């Protein structure tokens, strides 16, 4: 049971830190000129929406996401959860569960703000949300990650996400994430 709680905590931390979307591989694809691209596109990034982000080449996505403002990151995942909620046929219990996560986002527009990094009540909510998803709904970690951790679109209820075919000019970098 203790091991299961540790696993829940790890999943919750990853869920809360949604920018660790590809942590399963321990690597990110980053274009060698990504920092230069960021510098040359600051105005574009300051106004970037989730659909615009999705059109980026893979080598720019991660680093651009980290440069989005707290409000942009909030809107990004709020829209992602709306898309998940509305884009699939969920049973009533599943829909209510996704609605709880959505309502959490609506009630916490400062979720990605710096002053909010480690609020205990956020962690408790997310830990409970993940635990219920796994125990009551029998969702897999892949589906949970696809709903709330991965930046890309959820493709199915198995947890598969859209993979961009634009892999030009990229390097793999190791994330500072334990596997």
pTM, full prediction:
0.71
- What pLDDT is recorded for position 147? 92
Q: How many CA within 13 A on the CB side of residue 90?
A: 22
CA distances to 80, 143, 163 from 154, rounded to whole Å, are 9, 8, 10
- What pLDDT is recorded for position 151? 84
pLDDT in tens, 95-149: 999 999 999 989 988 887 776 656 788 889 999 999 999 999 999 999 999 998 8
- The whole-angstrom separation of Cα 51 and Cα 35 is 21
Kindly state the average pLDDT of the residues 144-169.
Answer: 78
The number of beta carbons lying within 10 Å of the beta carbon of residue 63 is 19
Q: Percent of the chain beyond pLDDT 70?
A: 73
- The whole-angstrom separation of Cα 68 and Cα 53 is 10
The number of beta carbons lying within 10 Å of the beta carbon of residue 176 is 7
Q: How confident is residue 25, by pLDDT bands cut at 50, 70 and 90? A: very low
What's the full length of the chain, in residues? Answer: 179
Q: Which two tokens stand for residue 83?
A: 């898309």
- What pLDDT is recorded for position 119? 76
What's the mean per-residue pLDDT of the chain?
78
Closest CA to 111 of 76, 141, 59, 64: 76
Residue 129: exposure state from Cβ atoms within 10 A (0-12, 13-18, ≥19): buried
Q: Percent of the chain beyond pLDDT 90?
A: 43
CA 88 vs. chain centroid, Å, equals 18
- What pLDDT is recorded for position 92? 97
- What pLDDT is recorded for position 10? 52
């Amino acid at each position: 049971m203790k091991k299961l709680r540790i696993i829940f905590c790890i999943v919750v931390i990853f869920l809360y830190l949604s920018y660790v979307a590809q942590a399963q591989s321990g690597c990110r694809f980053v274009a060698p000129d990504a920092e230069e691209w960021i510098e040359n596109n600051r105005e574009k990034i300051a106004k970037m929406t989730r659909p615009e982000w999705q059109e980026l080449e893979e080598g720019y996505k991660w680093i651009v996401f980290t440069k989005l403002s707290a409000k942009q990151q909030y809107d990004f995942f709020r829209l992602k959860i709306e898309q998940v909620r509305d884009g699939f046929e969920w049973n009533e219990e599943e829909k209510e569960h996704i609605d709880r996560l959505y309502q959490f986002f609506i009630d916490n527009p400062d979720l990605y703000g710096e002053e909010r990094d480690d609020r205990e009540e956020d962690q408790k909510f997310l830990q409970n949300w993940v635990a219920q998803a796994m125990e009551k709904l029998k969702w897999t970690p892949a589906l949970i990650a696809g709903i709330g951790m991965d930046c890309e679109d959820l493709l199915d209820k198995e947890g598969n996400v859209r993979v961009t075919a634009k892999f030009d000019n990229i390097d793999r970098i190791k994330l500072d994430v334990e596997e």
